[in-house]
Amino acid sequence: PAHRSSASPSSAFADANGPRQPFVIGVSGGTASGKTTVCDMIIQQLHDHRVVLVSQDSFYRGLTPEESERVHEYNFDHPDAFDTEQLLDCIKKLKCGQSVHVPIYDFKQHRRSSDSFRQVNASDVIILEGILVFHDQRVRNLMNMKIFVDTDADVRLARRIRRDTVERGRDVNSVLEQYAKFVKPAFDDFVLPSKKYADVIIPRGGDNHVAIDLIVQHIHTKLGQHDLCKIYPNVYVIQSTFQI
C-alpha cells in the first residue's frame, strides 16, 4: 500500500526553500533478506513525511502460455524477468512529482492483475526495494541512497521456505528445487555483485535497529534542516548559540 502519514506532512515540492525532488532510496539484498521489513521500519520512523514504497516485484513480466506451462523452468531471478523500462519510467515520473499506476503482481498465478493497479502519488521519499534494483545503471542513477540488506543465506532460505509455502502457494520441494536451480546461482551472478554499489550495508536486516536509526537520521538530514530541528529541538538550540 502507499504509505502516508496522518499529520499534515511537509511536501517535497513546495517547501520554504522552493521545489525539491523526492529523496529516492534503493533497498536491495537476497531473497527473504528482510528488505520489506527494513523498508517498513524506515517508513514507520519517517512518520512526519510522505513516503511511498515501490517493489521491483510489481514489475515482473507476464509469462507466455509456453512459459506458464513449464513455470518450474522459468528463471524469476534473472534481470530479464523484470520489465525494467517500465520500472524506470515509473520512478522517473515519481521523481518529477507525477502520480503513477503500479501493477499488482500475484506470486501464486505468476502474473499481474489485468484489471487493477495501485495508484502511487507524489511524495517526499520514494523507497524502491527488490533483489535486483542495483543491477541496471539507469535505475541506480535515480537513487540518492543505496542500502543492501545482508542476511546469511541459510537464514534467508529458511525464511523463504516458510514464506513461499505459507503465502505464495508453493510446496517445500518446489521451493528447494527453484532455490538450487535459479535463486542461488542468480544471487551469486547478479545480486551479490551489485552489493558494491551500496552506500550502506545492513547486517542482520530488521534486527539491526542501530543501522536503521542511523539511516533514518541521515534521511531526516537530507530532507532539510527545518525538519531535523522539529525532531531534535536541542540541535536547533546549539546551532543558534554558535550562530550568535
Q: Which chain residues interact with ligand ADP by CB under 6 A?
A: 29, 31-37, 159, 163, 205-207
Cα 170 from Cα 107, distance rounded (Å): 10
Rounded to a whole number of angstroms, the minimum distance from the CB of residue 8 to ligand ADP is: 30
Among 3, 49, 77, 150, binds ligand C5P (CB under 6 A): 77
* Bridge partners of residue 27, in order along the sequence: 129, 147
* Bridge partners of residue 52, in order along the sequence: 126
Among 10, 28, 31, 151, binds ligand C5P (CB under 6 A): 31
Interface positions, 99-158, toward ligand C5P (CB under 6 A):
107, 110, 131
Interface positions, 173-192, toward ligand C5P (CB under 6 A):
183
* Number of C-beta neighbours around residue 138 at 10 A: 12
Our CB check for ligand C5P shows the closer of 20 and 159 to be: 159
Cα 80 from Cα 71, distance rounded (Å): 15
Rounded to a whole number of angstroms, the minimum distance from the CB of residue 118 to ligand ADP is: 17
Nearest to 207 by CA among 151, 159, 163: 151
Rounded to a whole number of angstroms, the minimum distance from the CB of residue 165 to ligand C5P is: 12
Cα 169 from Cα 145, distance rounded (Å): 34
Rounded to a whole number of angstroms, the minimum distance from the CB of residue 66 to ligand ADP is: 28
107 binds, among ligand C5P, ligand ADP, none (CB under 5 to 8 A by kind): ligand C5P
Cα 49 from Cα 21, distance rounded (Å): 13
205 binds, among ligand ADP, ligand C5P, none (CB under 5 to 8 A by kind): ligand ADP
Q: Where are the alpha helices (DSSP H) in the chain?
A: 35-45, 65-69, 84-95, 137-140, 153-166, 172-178, 184-186, 209-223, 225-231, 233-243
Give me the residues that bind ligand C5P (CB under 6 A), please: 31-32, 57, 60, 76-77, 107, 110, 131, 183
